[in-house]
Structure 1
């Protein structure tokens, strides 16, 4: 479970101090699915970076399962990310010279998995997202939707507790968007993940159980009663 307490993040922009996050309190339970929305520059990605241990707050606590990420050393944060948190980004972030299977295997290298185990687990992860026939394909040989599926497989192959997604459908057309959301929602249910996603897409937000809106560093959370 996440517990954010009075999380503040300030940046200096010239002579101006920007409050990307301003005293944010937020609880996210195990297995929760939360969508984060808000205007550009409102603090959405900053919040996701805090949850992923990619950035630290100026003030406050970001507690994951009893551990305050803000107080960990960089090496320990790297371990937490490698073991517990999967990331999916808008730009896929695949290595162009590696096959789909090799791209997925990269997530297992920091965990010390043996080569045979890495290959087997990567192949199974790709099959789980519908790419069992694309193991040997390079990113350039796949569509945008297929590349994002590879990125999802890479995020999930290490069996994380948390999946963080930053605009994962932002580069996709509507049909591809729906396919990727189907994959993400199925993985959330099957694996019991805590799934937190930043999106500007209101159609996606309407289907989420909880929606957090950030404006000028402040957050409001509502339960979504839509079917």
Structure 2
């Protein structure tokens, strides 16, 4: 479970402070699904970085399962990210010279999984996203939707507790957007993930059980009882 209390993040542009987050209080239960929306510069990506242990708050606490992420040394934060949190990005972030299987395997290297076991786990993850026949293809040989499926497999191959997605459908057309969302929603249910996603797409936001709207660093959460 995530518990955020009074989370504030201040950046400085020259001498001017910018409050990206301004006293955010937020609880996200295990297995929950939350979509984050808001205007550009409103603090969406900053909030996701806090949840992903990629940045530390200026004030307040971000707790994951009772552990204050902001107080951990960098070595422990790296371990949390490697073991417990999967990331999916708008731009896929695949290594162009590696095959789909090799790209997925990169997520297992920090966990110390060796050789054959690593290859098998990566192949199984790609099979789970419908790419079992594309293991040997490099990103340039795959469509945008297929590249995002590789990125999803890479995020999930380590069997994380949390999946964080930053505009995962932003580079896809409408039909592929729907395919990727159906895949993500199915994996969320199948694996019992805590699934948190930033999106500008209101049609996607309406599908989520909870919506966090962030404006000028302040968060308002609404529930959607009719969502899938």
| TM-score normalised by the chain length of structure 1 | 0.99
Instruction: Work out the CA distance in 2 between the residues paired with 1:14 and 1:158.
Output: 40
Residue 98 of structure 2 is aligned to residue 75 of structure 1: no
**1:224 CA displacement:** 1.0
| Uncovered stretches (5+) of structure 1, i.e. residues with no partner | none
**Other-structure match for 1:151:** 151
Q: How many angstroms apart in 2 are the aligned matches of 1:15 and 1:177?
A: 41
C-alpha distance in structure 2 between counterparts of 1:70 and 1:15, whole Å: 25
1:87 is matched with 87
Q: Which deviations, in whole Å up to 9, do the C-alpha atoms of 1:177-200 show, x marking residues without a partner?
A: 001001100100000000000000
User: What does the per-residue CA deviation read over 1:195-219, in whole Å, with 9 as the maximum and x for residues that have no partner?
Assistant: 0000000000001000000000000
Distance in 1 of aligned mates of 2:191 and 2:53: 22
Q: The residue matched to 2:96 in structure 1 has which SS? A: coil
1:150 aligned counterpart, secondary structure:
helix
**Structure 2 counterpart of 1:170:** 170
1:78 and 1:34 map into 2 onto residues whose CA distance is 24
Q: Where does residue 137 of structure 2 map in the other structure?
A: 137
Spell out the pairing of 1:1-227 with structure 2 (5 A cutoff): 1-227=1-227
Shift of 1:16: 1.4
**Whole-Å Cα distance in 2 between the matches of residues 101 and 118 of structure 1?**
10
Aligned counterparts of 1:86 and 1:209: Cα–Cα separation in 2: 21
- Aligned-partner SS, 1:124: helix
Please state how far the C-alpha of 1:106 moved relative to its aligned partner: 0.4
Cα displacement (A) at 1:14: 1.8
- Structure 1 distance, partners of 2:197, 2:16, is 29
Once residues 58 and 140 of structure 1 are traced to their aligned partners in structure 2, the CA distance between those partners, rounded to angstroms, is: 40
| Superposed displacement of residue 114, structure 1 | 1.1
Which blocks of at least 5 consecutive residues in structure 2 are unaligned? none
Q: Which runs of 4+ in 1 moved over 2 A?
A: none
How far is the alpha carbon of 1:226 from its aligned partner? 3.3
SS in 1 for 2:55: coil
Q: Distance in 1 between matches of 2:73 and 2:140?
A: 37
Partner Cα distance (1:111, 1:171) in 2: 30
Q: Secondary structure at the match of 1:188?
A: helix
SS at match of 1:172: coil
